[in-house]
């Protein structure tokens, strides 16, 4: 069901793309390529595989911003920063925090009753990116199939959020014993459609399937996880994937294309 929802989003976005491409193709214009800086606001529902899927349920959401530069040869270079997170999606919570939970399966708060703890992941990517646009419409060489690759770093960790009472057992420095903060190398690959409108600066979108890999290691000196049997330094490298359909709204900051209009 979750995968089908993501495929539905991809289908809708692809339909929008082809519609706008068709409109561009009907314009009797001959357009040069642009070279300009671009800001892109990005959104993606993502699914996890590998070690991240062992700890958290999917889907998760990713929001980010890219600062890009597009050359006249349709090369694209830039940087991207993004955050990803889930909704109370930590697996095996009571087992992981067994030493903090009562036999009734609750965590006692400062008032003496159940603290009502939610637990979810929060992470980020910081990537350098490079790619190429391959035009598919003769009179709009700024649009086409996009291939993009990225490399940089990622971080992910558990956030504990008491909803009923304060829980000092998982607050402040104590949270660092249980939050599994991890950091390391990240790579990304993206293929999709890049559309830049010939006339209107607000209708510039990209829709792409993105696949990311992460090699993460714990940043904490001491970790407690009763489910995994860890009490001490966690030296394991965790390999994970995130994949999903990313939608970007692009804003060119400057640069104009030259156009010739033919009247019949």
Q: Which domain holds residue 129?
A: 2-256
pLDDT of residue 47: 97
Q: Residue 81's domain is classified under what CATH number?
A: 2.40.160.20
pLDDT of residue 31: 62
The Cα 230–Cα 209 span in angstroms is: 36
Dihedral sign for Cα atoms in the order 174, 171, 242, 205? negative
Residue 163 in any domain: the answer is yes
Residue 188 in any domain: the answer is yes
Using H for helix, E for strand and C for coil, what is the string for 11-64? HHHHHHHHHHHHHHHHCCEEECCCCEEEEEEEEEEEEEEEHHHHHECCCEEEEE
Show contacts of 109-113: CB within 8 Å, 24+ apart: 109/162, 109/164, 109/165, 109/166, 109/167, 110/165, 110/166, 110/167, 110/168, 111/165, 113/164, 113/165
Residue 110 in any domain: the answer is yes
> Closest Cα partner for 219 from 148, 153, 263, 168?
153
Residue 262 in any domain: the answer is no
Given a contact cutoff of 8 angstroms between Cβ atoms, the answer to whether 55 and 90 are in contact is yes
Residue 261 in any domain: the answer is no
* Residue that is written with structure tokens 């014993």 in the block: 177
Question: Which residues is 122 bridged to in the sheet?
Answer: 85, 157
pLDDT of residue 202: 74
pLDDT of residue 200: 57
The Cα 31–Cα 24 span in angstroms is: 11
Residue 193 has which token pair?
A: 């459609």
Residue 170 in any domain: the answer is yes
pLDDT of residue 253: 85
In sequence order, the 6+-apart residues with CB closer than 8 A to the CB of 55 are: 90, 91, 121, 158, 180
Per-residue pLDDT tens listing for the chain (264 residues): 444 454 455 455 545 544 544 444 444 344 677 888 999 999 999 999 999 999 999 999 999 999 999 999 999 999 999 999 999 999 999 899 998 888 877 888 888 877 888 999 999 999 999 999 999 988 889 999 999 999 999 999 999 998 878 888 889 899 999 999 999 999 999 999 999 886 656 789 999 999 999 999 999 999 999 999 999 999 999 999 999 999 999 999 875 544 443 333
pLDDT of residue 217: 98
pTM above threshold 0.85: no
**What is the domain count for the chain?**
1
In sequence order, the 6+-apart residues with CB closer than 8 A to the CB of 215 are: 184, 185, 186, 237, 238, 239
Torsion angle of the four alpha carbons 146, 149, 154, 159, in this order, in degrees rounded to the nearest 10: 20
């Amino acid at each position: 069901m979750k995968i089908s929802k993501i495929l539905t989003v991809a289908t809708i976005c692809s339909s929008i793309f082809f519609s706008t491409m068709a409109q561009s193709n009907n314009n009797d214009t001959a357009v040069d390529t642009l070279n300009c800086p671009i800001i892109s606001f990005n959104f993606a529902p993502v699914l996890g595989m590998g070690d991240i899927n062992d700890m958290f349920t999917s889907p998760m959401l990713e929001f980010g911003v890219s600062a890009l530069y597009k050359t006249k040869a349709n090369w694209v270079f830039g940087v991207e920063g993004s955050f990803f997170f889930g909704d109370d999606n930590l697996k095996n919570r009571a087992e992981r925090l067994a030493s903090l939970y009562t036999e009734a399966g609750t965590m006692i708060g400062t008032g003496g009753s159940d603290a009502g703890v939610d637990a979810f992941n929060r992470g980020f990517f910081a990537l350098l990116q490079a790619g190429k646009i391959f035009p598919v419409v003769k009179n709009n060489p700024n649009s086409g199939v996009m291939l993009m690759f990225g490399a940089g770093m990622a971080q992910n960790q558990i956030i504990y959020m008491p909803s009923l009472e304060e829980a000092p057992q998982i607050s402040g420095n104590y949270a660092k014993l249980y939050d599994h903060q991890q950091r390391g190398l990240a790579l990304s690959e993206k293929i999709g459609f890049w559309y830049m409108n010939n006339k209107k600066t607000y209708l510039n979108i990209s829709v792409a399937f993105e696949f990311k890999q992460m090699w993460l290691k714990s940043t904490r000196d001491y970790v407690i996880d009763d489910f995994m049997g860890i009490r001490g330094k966690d030296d394991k490298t965790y390999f994970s994937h995130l994949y999903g359909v990313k939608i970007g709204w692009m804003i060119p900051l400057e640069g104009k294309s030259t156009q010739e209009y033919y009247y019949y």
